[in-house]
């Protein structure tokens, strides 16, 4: 297909806006530490690579400004929704780490999280770094680009309708977010619960013991020991959680098959 035809230029513009929306909301790729110039360059590069692959499915160029604006807005929303669906995986893990931080007592202090721009405890930062290491260790950025390419094949540029957003898909992603948080926090939460039960028995049998003074350091120690022991299983869980939903989020939320 010759370059610089109206169809080729319009297809490039649509893919560029879809890619830009993805890079604004996709996990890790939307990190604030990445310069805006680098993200713009990556969006243009991905669009240049993807356009020739979609040469047979490029839509006709619009004849008026209204159709052009509708097409650009639709593609931008598609990219944003796809990135947000992937981001929910990491949000679930952050919820799990926040639960652990509160249970262990690390939630008393908070620091600024540069990834989300929100306030998280020091314990949450450990899980944020661990998730980042697992993500790049399993080539998660490649998975994001691969999932994006698959959406282009399933939903060619200019054909997606925002009205196909499925409530069942949104509910499924939300429930998956809660399940991920529980699975991440479960080992330490169970250990801390048993610790609380044990301290309750001690408080009843030895009233002279100051459980409030002993309890906090004990819970922190037990939590850290269980964290270290469960770290390999937690890393495997993160790999499974990241690998599956990153590629399947578009199917559940955006009506892509």
Assigned domain for 132 exists: yes
Q: What φ, ψ does residue 69 adopt, rounded to 5°?
A: -65, -40
- List of residues 6+ apart from 162 with CB closer than 8 A: 74, 77, 78
CA atoms within 13 A of residue 140's CA, in its CB half-sphere:
24
List Cβ<8 Å contacts ≥24 apart for 194-199. 195/219, 195/222
Assigned domain for 1 exists: no
* Three-class DSSP category at 138: coil
Q: What's the rounded Cα separation, in Å, for the pair 117 and 125?
A: 12
Ramachandran class of 28: left when φ > 0, alpha when ψ lies in -120 to 50, beta otherwise: left
Assigned domain for 41 exists: yes
CA atoms within 13 A of residue 45's CA, in its CB half-sphere:
8
Domain total of the chain: 1
pLDDT at 92: 76
- Output the tens digit of pLDDT for each of the chain's 257 residues: 455 677 788 888 888 888 888 888 877 777 777 888 888 888 888 888 888 887 777 777 777 788 888 888 888 888 888 888 777 777 777 777 777 777 777 765 555 555 555 666 667 777 777 888 888 887 877 877 887 888 888 777 877 777 666 666 666 666 666 777 777 777 888 888 888 888 888 878 877 777 777 777 788 788 888 888 888 887 787 777 776 655 555 555 555 54
Q: What's the rounded Cα separation, in Å, for the pair 26 and 135?
A: 12
Assigned domain for 133 exists: yes
pLDDT at 1: 47
Assigned domain for 256 exists: no
The residue range of the domain holding 232 is: 6-251
Query: Full-prediction pTM beyond 0.95?
Result: no
Assigned domain for 184 exists: yes
Max intra-chain CA distance, the chain: 86
Assigned domain for 53 exists: yes
Assigned domain for 234 exists: yes
In this structure, what token pair is assigned to residue 226? 């269980």
């Amino acid at each position: 297909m010759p370059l610089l035809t109206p169809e080729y230029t319009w297809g490039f513009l649509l893919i560029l806006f879809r890619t830009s929306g993805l890079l604004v909301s996709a996990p890790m790729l939307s990190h604030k530490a990445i310069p805006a110039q680098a993200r713009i360059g990556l969006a243009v590069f991905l669009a240049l690579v993807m356009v020739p692959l979609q040469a047979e499915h490029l839509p006709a160029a619009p004849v008026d400004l209204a159709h052009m604006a509708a097409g650009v807005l639709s593609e931008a929303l598609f990219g944003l929704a796809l990135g947000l669906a992937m981001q929910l995986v990491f949000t679930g893990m952050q919820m799990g780490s926040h639960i652990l931080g509160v249970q262990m007592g690390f939630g008393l202090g908070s620091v600024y999280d540069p990834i989300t721009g929100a306030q998280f405890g020091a314990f949450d930062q450990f899980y944020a770094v661990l998730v980042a290491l697992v993500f790049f260790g399993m080539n998660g950025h490649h998975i994001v680009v691969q999932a994006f390419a698959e959406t282009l094949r399933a939903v060619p540029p200019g054909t997606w309708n925002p009205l196909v957003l499925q409530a069942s898909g949104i509910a499924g992603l939300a429930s998956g977010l809660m399940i991920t948080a529980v699975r991440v926090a479960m080992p330490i939460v169970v250990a801390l619960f048993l610790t609380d039960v044990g301290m309750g028995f001690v408080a009843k049998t030895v009233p002279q013991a100051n459980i409030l003074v002993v309890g906090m350091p004990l819970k922190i120690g037990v939590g850290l020991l269980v964290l270290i022991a469960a770290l390999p299983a937690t890393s495997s869980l993160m790999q499974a959680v990241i690998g599956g939903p990153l590629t399947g989020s578009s199917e559940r939320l955006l009506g892509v098959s």
